[in-house]
Amino acid sequence: MARPVRFNIHPKQTDIHDNIAIAEMPDGLNGEGYFATNLEKVVALGRKNSLWPLPFATSCCGIEFMATAAATYDLARFGAERMAFTPRQCDLLMVMGTIAKKMAPIVRQVYMQMAEPRWVMAVGACASSGGIFDTYSVLQGIDQVVPVDVYVPGCPPRPEAILDGFMRIQELAGHESLRRRNSEHYKKLMGSYGIQ
Amino acid sequence: MTNETIQQKIQDKFGASVTGFEEPYGMLTFEIAADKNIELLQYLYDEPDLAFRFLTDVTVVHYPDDKGRELAVVYHLHNLVDNIRFRFKCFIDIENPEINTATVLFESANWQEREAYDFYGVIFKGHPNLKRIMNVEEMDYFPMRKEFPLEDQSRTDKDDEMFGRGGSVI
Ligand code: SF4
């Protein structure tokens, strides 16, 4: 029997009027012809809505990421369509997949090449904790070599979960104080990983 | 050429140093004294009606209970013309895990022996570049030896019960 095929016989008209996602305006004073707010909020707005991810995809979770970036889930909606493989341009290191111990120094080096501010997302059980590979050759979580901001659980996580993780990174980026990266606390954190 | 004729030829040439002939799943298998391995490989290579000129694999097996012959180095050979395969083993002592390298005869043995060294610590005497190939260079043990647990020991915050390492889960 032939497989039933559904055609899109009732196409929806695209609704672009008043349906464009616009980032919320930060609090501030506004009046005719001017708007005043503080610098921190403007910078946070910019950072939050144009994170440039660096996908570090080493195994199966990387495939989920490809789906996340493709049309159906569309990571571009969050201002993150600009993937780059040049660490110096990127803000967000997305580690997706099993990291073998031999790979660990490379993850670390990529992280160190990124300019501040930088965020790290560990996608999937392997990147978060070694996952099912509790074995001599696999790094038991990338937080042994670089500090991680958001962990996305799952083996593999669905694209929705990756998006959720991404939105949490946006949340962090949107609320981060401009002074955080110079603080003692942050220096200590970096120091504990041996990163200057 | 059949398993019987191969066995006959090898026995005629090497006499008492070859033992334990068997044919699990139809594949000829036997054991030879560890110091005769290269001599045997050379003979198999040169002899025109044997012509085993392809070294498929060099692997190691660890038998921790077999005192004095804990490590078995296994050579798999293939005659590409007649499409016949067989394997032979050399048992060596884990206290002194040394054997002659097959790189003198087969270039392909280079990486295979490095892998065997990496995982089992077999020292191939005369190997041009015997160092780790798969694992991190800082690794200070040979992970496939039976005395080392498979699990990574560096993570202390994993719940042992969830990972099947003791606790109440059997
Ligand atoms: S968490 Fe699961 S799906 Fe993701 S890389 Fe590891 S094994 Fe693959």
Mean pLDDT over residues A126-130, rounded? 91
**Ligand 1 centre from A63 Cα, in Å?**
10
HSE-up of residue A103 (Cα within 13 Å, Cβ side): 19
pLDDT value at B169 more than 50: no
pTM of structure: 0.82
Is it true that domain B3-109 has CATH number 1.10.10.10? no
Contact criterion met (CB < 8 Å) for A130 and B135: no
**Pairing state of beta strands B71-79 and B84-92?**
antiparallel
User: Across chain B, where does the E strand assignment appear?
Assistant: 18-22, 28-32, 54-62, 71-79, 84-92, 98-100, 123-125
pLDDT (0 to 100) of residue A134 = 84
Using 50, 70 and 90 to split pLDDT, how confident is the model at B170?
Answer: very low
Using one digit for the tens of pLDDT, what is the confidence trace for B87-125?
999 999 999 999 999 999 999 999 999 999 999 999 999
Nearest to A134 among B134, B143, B163 (CB): B163
Task: Read off the pLDDT of each residue in B149-155 and give the average, rounded to a whole number.
Answer: 73
Please give the pLDDT value at position B157: 62
Ligand 1 centre distance from Cα of residue A191 (Å):
30
Q: Could you report the per-residue pLDDT of A17-76, keeping only the tens digit for each?
A: 777 777 888 888 988 999 999 999 999 999 999 999 999 999 999 999 999 999 888 898
Measured between CA atoms, the residue of chain B closest to residue A136 is: B152
Q: Where are the domains of chain A?
A: 51-192
Tell me B133's DSSP state.
S
User: Of all protein residues, whose CA lies closest to atom 2 belonging to ligand 1?
Assistant: A155
CATH of domain A51-192: 3.40.50.12280
